[in-house]
Chain A
Amino acid sequence: MSETHELGVDFAACDGHGLCAELLPERIGLDEWGYPVVRDAVVPGPLLAHARRAVAACPVLALRLRPAPDRTPTRQSGQPGQPGQSGRSASGQAAVHGLPPSG
């Protein structure tokens, strides 16, 4: 597995408690309404422990961390129904690219 991970926020679940920004200020700030702004979703190995702590601290489990896909150059290449993209921790926002919208 790759050393790099990716952060994602489920904004429908997030209540703006702000613990993630306290625990992972290297990656997460807060907007004027108190909701997380992920400045850079990529979490390198050295930050991983802090990121995991932030994920675990979220009272509503809205912060997600998943292994970053290895094929980094094209984020648009995800095919709908592509297997292997929906692991247990993969329900962050990163997987929406290239999937069928309505209509």
Chain B
Amino acid sequence: MNPEATTALAAPEMPVPHGVRLLGGWYATGRPAGLSDHLDRHGPAPTGRAADALADDVERAGLTGRGGGGFPTGRKLRTVAGRRGPAVVVANGMESEPASRKDETLLALAPHLVLDGAVLAADATGAATVHLCLPRTRADQAESLRRAVDERRRAGLDPAEVRVHTLPHHFVSSEETSLVSWLNGGGARPAPTPPRPFEKGVGKRPTFVANVETLAHVALIARHGPEWFRELGSESAPGTTLVTLSGAVRNPGVYEVPMGGSARQALAAAGGPTRRLGAVLAGGFFGSWLPVPLDPVAPSRGAGVLVALPEDACGLSETAGVLAYLGAQSAGQCGPCTFGVPSVAEDFAELAWGRPGPDLMERLDRRLGLLPGRGACRHPDGAARLAASALRAFADDVDRHLRYGPCAHAGDAPVLPVPAGRAVAAEEGWR
């Protein structure tokens, strides 16, 4: 490991936020933006424009989904708007990724930007209703958002009705088909596609599902235009993005950084690492381990989560813990996920904490190949990606564990925030 990887990043104090947009109000006032703060700063949302205007702007801005999918938002808007019949807008604030706090933070600090974006999307797609979905674990936030919605209604701001819902908080419940299924009266579990929500979603209508951060960007693009949006970020990945930085960094938290930057640059926003790093988890529990030293330029691909793992932590046991959680979080609908993810988790537990048998790695490799593309949603794909990246990033540790058994740090408290309560939810737990 390269010692410069830490020293080069360690800034003596927090850098002044550069190019902050979504969180600009917070940095200016130091308090969450109420409706009057919001209107003073941004003015009302420009609703009532020509049908294609917003989709055009968003498409030219190059905005992509900030919920992890990365799909072009303008294209999705245009597709939903172009389909027959009245549409529905769903704002996804579920954020089931345990290492992410960005959506919760954005909804707390700039709720009206999100609501503006949702209402603008409704305006552009001809939707009369916006469903804002939050996890049931955040009832207080849902209540304060309901108050914000009421305040806007009294001010006569919105041409669409906004309804705030709280859904079961399981890992796969934030998948867009889970939201649609729940809003249609079913369980918050992924549904097989097609039909995708844009074809047939809530009430069988064409449905525009977007992450809440994506919608907040839409609200700003509608006001300032695509050229403004592209002033930050890179040509192929324009704009800014929220990222949750945790682990061994000086000031863990949610930051707004230019898109297309490297993981190294993003970590610098949080003051850089506090210790030598062993690896960085980019993209959360469905993400990949990046080996250290980090590539100074390779873009971190819009990952909204970075966890800095110190050199003296055991990456294999960290990964084993996450995989056990992901295995328990399977909705139990698809066989390869129901059986495959827990099996991979068991193999990883053997690697991390047990006495690895001679056939372990061959079995694990085979099982990892049996997960991708074999579920109604991407849960098994995500688990396989994380596991495979751990085998690459911690290849030396794998050899040592295979040869000598668990390392000295395999039993340490995990750096990654793996939620407790691993039991698979009962049938009614999804409603």
Residue positions of A touching B, CB distance < 8 A: 9-16, 31-35, 37, 79-81, 86, 90-91, 93, 95-96, 99-103
The majority secondary structure among interface residues of chain B is: loop
- Size of the B side of the interface (Cβ < 8 Å), in residues, is 46
User: By the criterion CB–CB under 8 Å, are B79 and A81 in contact?
Assistant: yes
- Residues of A contacting B374 with CB < 8 Å? 9, 11, 35
Residues of chain B lying within 8 A (CB to CB) of residue A37: 370
Contact A12 to B92, CB < 8 A, known contacts A80-B76, A81-B79: no
The 3 nearest A-B residue pairs measured at CB: A103-B67, A101-B69, A102-B176
Known interface pairs A13-B192, A101-B71, A102-B92. Does A81 touch B334 (Cβ–Cβ under 8 Å)?
no
Q: Check A100–B75 contact: CB distance below 8 A.
A: yes
Contact, CB under 8 Å: A33 / B176: no
20 A–B contacts, CB within 8 A, in A order: A11-B375, A11-B376, A12-B192, A12-B334, A31-B370, A33-B336, A33-B343, A37-B370, A80-B76, A81-B199, A86-B199, A91-B192, A96-B196, A100-B69, A100-B71, A101-B71, A102-B69, A102-B92, A102-B176, A103-B67
Choice from A11, A90, A93, A100 contacting B198 with Cβ under 8 Å: A100
Option from B66, B210, B214, B376 in Cβ contact (under 8 Å) with A12: B376
Contacts of B373 in A (CB 8 A): 93
Q: Which residues on B sit within 8 Å (CB–CB) of A80?
A: 75-76, 79, 196, 198
A73 to chain B, nearest CB (A): 20
Residues of A within 8 A of B192 (CB): 10-13, 91
A96 neighbours in B (Cβ, 8 Å): 193-194, 196
- A102 engages B198 (CB within 8 Å): no
Q: By the criterion CB–CB under 8 Å, are A102 and B174 in contact?
A: yes
| A13, A37, A86, A102 pick with most chain B CB within 10 angstroms | A102
B72's closest neighbor in chain A, by CB? A100
* Across-interface contacts of A91 in B (CB, < 8 A): 192, 194
Residue pair B210, A103 in contact (C-beta under 8 Å): yes
Report yes or no: B336 in contact with A103, Cβ–Cβ below 8 A: no
User: Would you give the shortest CB distance from B188 to chain A, in whole angstroms?
Assistant: 13
Picked from B191, B196, B335, the residue with its CB within 8 Å of the CB of A14 is B335
CB-CB < 8 A to B174: which residues of A? 102
Q: Measuring CB to CB, which residues of chain B are less than 8 angstroms from any residue of chain A?
A: 65-71, 75-76, 79, 82-83, 92, 174-177, 179, 190-196, 198-199, 209-211, 214, 333-337, 339-340, 343, 367, 370, 373-376, 378
Interface centre among A9, A37, A81 (most CB of B within 10 A): A81
Taken together as a complex, chains A and B put the C-alpha atoms of A11 and B190 apart, in Å, by 12
How far, in whole Å, are A86 and B198 apart by their CA atoms in the complex?
13
**Can you name the residue of chain A whose Cβ is closest to the Cβ of B69?**
A101
Measured CB to CB, the closest approach of chain A to B13, in angstroms, equals 34
Interface contact B83-A102, CB-CB below 8 Å? no
A33, A99, A100: the one contacting B335 at CB < 8 Å is A33
Interface centre among B71, B198, B214 (most CB of A within 10 A): B71
How distant is A31 from chain B, measured CB to nearest CB, in Å? 5
For the complex formed, measure the closest distance between the CB of B182 and the CB atoms of chain A, giving whole angstroms.
Answer: 13
Query: In the complex, what residues of B have CB within 8 A of residue A100's CB?
Result: 65, 69, 71, 75-76, 79, 196, 198
Write the nearest CB–CB distance from A88 to chain B, whole angstroms: 12
Nearest residue (CB) in A for B180 is A102
Alpha-carbon distance A93/B214, docked complex (angstroms): 27
Assembled-state Cα–Cα distance A100/B70 (Å): 9
Contact partner of B194 (CB less than 8 A), chosen from A33, A35, A86, A101, is: A86
Residues B333 and A103 in contact, CB atoms below 8 Å apart: no
A81-B340 contact given A102-B211, A103-B68, CB 8 Å threshold: no
Given known pairs A35-B374, A80-B198, the reply for A103 and B334 (CB within 8 Å) is no
Residues in A neighbouring B214, C-beta threshold 8 A: 103
Give chain A residues whose Cβ lies under 8 Å from the Cβ of B68: 101-103
Choose one: B190, B196, B339; the contact of A33 (CB below 8 Å).
B339
CB A85 to nearest CB in B, in angstroms, measures 8
